Amino acid sequence: MRHPHLVLLIGACPEYGCLVYEYMENGSLEDRLFRKDNTPSIPWKIRFRIAAEIATGLLFLHQTKPEPLVHRDLKPANILLDKNYVSKISDVGLSRLVPASIADGVAQYRLTAARGTFCYIDPEYQQTGMLGVKSDLYSLGVVLLQLLTSKPPVGLTVHIQEAIEKGTFAEMLDPTVPDWPVEEALSLAKLALQCCELRKRDRPNLDSVVLPELNRLRNLKLQHEANNSEIQHEANNSEKVASKPPLHISVPEIRSQENQITERSGWQRLVSITRVWKSNILPSNRGVAGKSNRKPGEANCWSFVTCTGPPQQLRRAKSFSS
């Protein structure tokens, strides 16, 4: 019998009277809930997933052909975890084949002696010996409450019911998990209490009620991760937009351009004034190629070669030439 959430039986050793199962690195769910050897606490996302996995494996046993199997001893010590915290149901030694004709949710199969563990065993089955597929639902309900609280099973259903009525349910959640989604955890607790009803007929069906709700809570993890991914994506986009250079020209750049234009205009004005000043001072009666029409030696002669004018006029010519 193989299933992803049932521990695989590898072989048996008749000489020592023992069975050999696959190795599960993280041990039992009980050890991890009570943090044996100071192991880290299990996050709520993994706890919701484990709850759905246990119900899936249990439903596989109940739908076994030709006759359903009832585990009769479902508890955290019989739920093992591999290295990825994938849960698998073990210890099916007390499982009982129930005739298919009476394996529905109402009919029961009478046994002469009840088997199971105290606090997990179905009270009605314990008192009357009447066994049915809903007998495992009581044990499942207690396990679900322990997944939420990490508390011992003794009187746990009563404590949870009172906390819900008083509005203090959040205080019952495992304090080592800081980010519980309280509304979803409350929904799971109410479902677990329905599974822990004293009468089998008052318990919900595993396939049509319990498992769909547990799958919804398991998918909450995916929605939570998707929301976190979307938030991170928006944050990254905001950082990229903030890091891009501005499309407009900043005020200092505009002022720098205005200063350059002002300086250029001032230089052009200076050149224009200089040209006018030279035209007013320098003689305008020049010939071709800039040669003067005056003869050397005449007054106000500007020749630098043979000028024989007054010394002050020669100094004046030299000053303009420089």
Considering the candidates 31, 73, 104, 174, report the single residue annotated as catalytic. 73
Cβ-in-10-Å burial (0-12, 13-18, 19+) of 130 comes to: middle
Catalytic-residue membership of 104: no
Catalytic center residues = 73
